[in-house]
Amino acid sequence: MNAIQKATTFVLGAGVLALPLTIGAAPAPKITTVTGGTDPITGPFQQSETAYNISQLGGGVRVETVAYNDKTGEIPTFLIYGNNDHRTIFPGVSLMGWSFRTRTPANPDPTWTHAKVRPPAGTAGLWGDPSIASNPDLQNVVLMGGLAIPSSKFPTTGSIVDGQGNCDSFGGGCVARSTDGGVGHPAGAESRRRARASRECRVASASADRDSARAGGNAAHQHQ
C-alpha cells in the first residue's frame, strides 16, 4: 500500500498563524510467523493459548517471548490422543513451550527460536496454560508459569488415562525463571525442545483449576 500524503493547515488564534503540516498514512503492519506453517520443528504439532512478553534491554535491544501450550516433540513418547479426546499421559510430558527473538537496530526482524521447559526433579509433567511477565525494574528477569503434575500424584501404573475436565493429578504450577530477557542459549534444534540453561523451574503447590487443562486452538501463531 502506498503512503497517502495530504496537506493539513492548523490555524492558531484568530487566523493569525497558519502552519502547514504533511501527514503520511501509517505503513501496513508486518506479520511474522512464530510457530507452525512450514517450520520443521513446530509445524507438525499444535501450539495454542498464547501469552506474550517484551523486555527492553537498552540500546534499542528488545527481547520478545511468546509462551504457549506446545505439543512439539511430545507425541507419541509422552502423550497419546485417543477417541473422544481421551489422552494417555506419561511421565516427562511437557506442554510448556515458548519462542523468542532479539530485535536490534541492526536486525529489527529476526526469526523466532523455539524452546521448551522439561519437568524438574519431583515433577512428572508440565501441562501448560502459560502466563509470562517481566520485572519492570529488571527487564532481564522473565518469569513463565504453567500447570504442573507432581510426581507424588502421578499413578503408580506409569500413565494417566485422562478425559477432558478430569484433572485429579494436577497439584500446583511450575515457574521458569530467565535472567537474560527470555533469550536463553539453545545449541541446536534438539536443545530447543528442552529446558535451556538459563531457565530454572520452581514448582509451587496449589490447587489447580479443573477446567484449565483444556487445550485447543490453531497450529500456527502469528505476531504483529
pLDDT for position 202: 56
Collapsed DSSP state (helix, strand, coil) of residue 157 = coil
CA 134 to chain centre: 13
CA 35 to chain centre: 10
pLDDT for position 203: 53
- For the chain, the helix, strand and coil percentages under 3-state DSSP, each to the nearest 5: 5, 45, 50
Beta carbons within 8 Å of 219's beta carbon, 6+ residues apart:
35, 36, 43, 45, 46, 47
Contact 166, 155 (CB under 8 A): no
pLDDT for position 95: 92
Whole-angstrom distance, CA of residue 169 vs CA of residue 145: 18
pLDDT for position 20: 61
pLDDT for position 164: 55
pLDDT for position 22: 64
* Nearest of 128, 114, 32, 120 to residue 65 by alpha carbon: 114
Task: List the chain residues with pLDDT less than 70.
Answer: 1-23, 84-85, 162-167, 183-224
Residue with cell 511430545: 74
